[in-house]
Each structure stands twice: as C-alpha cells, then as structure tokens.
C-alpha cells in the first residue's frame, strides 16, 4: 500500500506523527509537505495529494490541517477525489463503507496522536460496501461531469 500525505502548518505535527506511524506498519508514504510549522496555504498541499491519487501514484491520501475543513473543501474540487473529514474512527468507517472515500482528512488542532492512529487504521482497513452505495457514488460522478 502507498499513501500520499500532506498538511499545512496547523497539521504539520500530526502529519509527522501519522507518517512515522504508517512507515512503522510497512506502508510506503509520499510526503507532499509541508515540511515545517511555518505558515503556508493549505490548498497547495491538498492539490498535491489529490493529484497523486488522480495520477494513480498512490492508493489513498491523507490530509491534515487545523480543522480539516479547508483541506476537505479543496481536495473535493478535484475530479474522482472523495475526501472525507473524519474526527473519529466511526466516521472513517462509514466514509469508506458508504462513500468510498479515497482521502482521509483529519484535524491537527482537534485530534491527538492516538485518536489519529485509530482513525487511520479504520479508514485503511474498511472496504467499500458497494450495492445501494454504488448507485449514490454514480450519482456523484454524474454531478462531476
């Protein structure tokens, strides 16, 4: 499995923790920045991670900013990107099962490292159910056109 990860300055510390956590589990990580806690603009990093997914360079993406809101909004502007802000493992479970989310978005100012690890694990271990949920994903794809 290969994951692209990115953050702004408010998510930098949690991004670094999550990156190390993923690598400790043998998961390859593409770090798209930011690389310090200096102030930056989140759309730049959301775009890099979304493009990695669009170009099929990675299997999933993870984005982290202060609240997760800016990253979610930005990433979802990209075609075939389904970024879900998940503050808890249960949200991550349903984001994958029902929405086939391909980017997990988390909040650096609202989540601690243990909660983030549990949320990441749930996101990565949950499969899309398909069925009636596929019909809804197809409806979203029609809107994207």
User: In the prediction, which pLDDT does 132 show?
Assistant: 87
Residue reference for tokens 């800016």: 70
What's the predicted TM-score (pTM) here?
0.95
**Residue 145 pLDDT:** 84
Q: How confident is the model over 132-138, as a mean pLDDT?
A: 89
pLDDT by residue (tens digit) across 4-48?
A: 999 999 999 999 999 999 999 999 999 999 999 999 999 999 999
72 Cβ contact partners less than 8 Å away, ≥ 6 residues apart: 63, 83, 84, 85, 105
**Biggest alpha carbon distance in the chain?**
45
Q: Which domains does the chain carry?
A: 2-144 (3.40.1400.10)
Any idea which residues carry the catalytic annotation? 65, 98
End-to-end CA distance of the chain: 29
Contact partners, residue 29, CB within 8 Å, separation at least 6 = 2, 3, 4, 5, 19, 22, 23
């Amino acid at each position: 499995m290969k994951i692209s990860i990115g953050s702004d300055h408010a998510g930098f510390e949690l991004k670094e923790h999550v990156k190390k956590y993923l690598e400790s589990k043998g998961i390859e990580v593409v770090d798209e920045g930011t690389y310090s806690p200096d102030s930056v603009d989140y759309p730049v990093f959301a775009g890099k991670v979304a493009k990695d997914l669009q170009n099929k360079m990675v299997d999933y993406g993870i984005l982290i900013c202060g609240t997760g809101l800016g990253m979610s909004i930005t990433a979802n502007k990209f075609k075939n990107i389904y970024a879900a802000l998940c503050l808890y493992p249960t949200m991550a479970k349903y984001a994958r099962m029902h929405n086939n989310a391909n980017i997990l978005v988390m909040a650096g100012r609202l989540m601690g490292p243990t909660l983030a690890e549990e949320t990441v694990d749930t996101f990565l271990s949950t499969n899309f159910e398909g069925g009636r949920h596929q019909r809804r994903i197809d409806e979203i794809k029609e809107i994207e056109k």
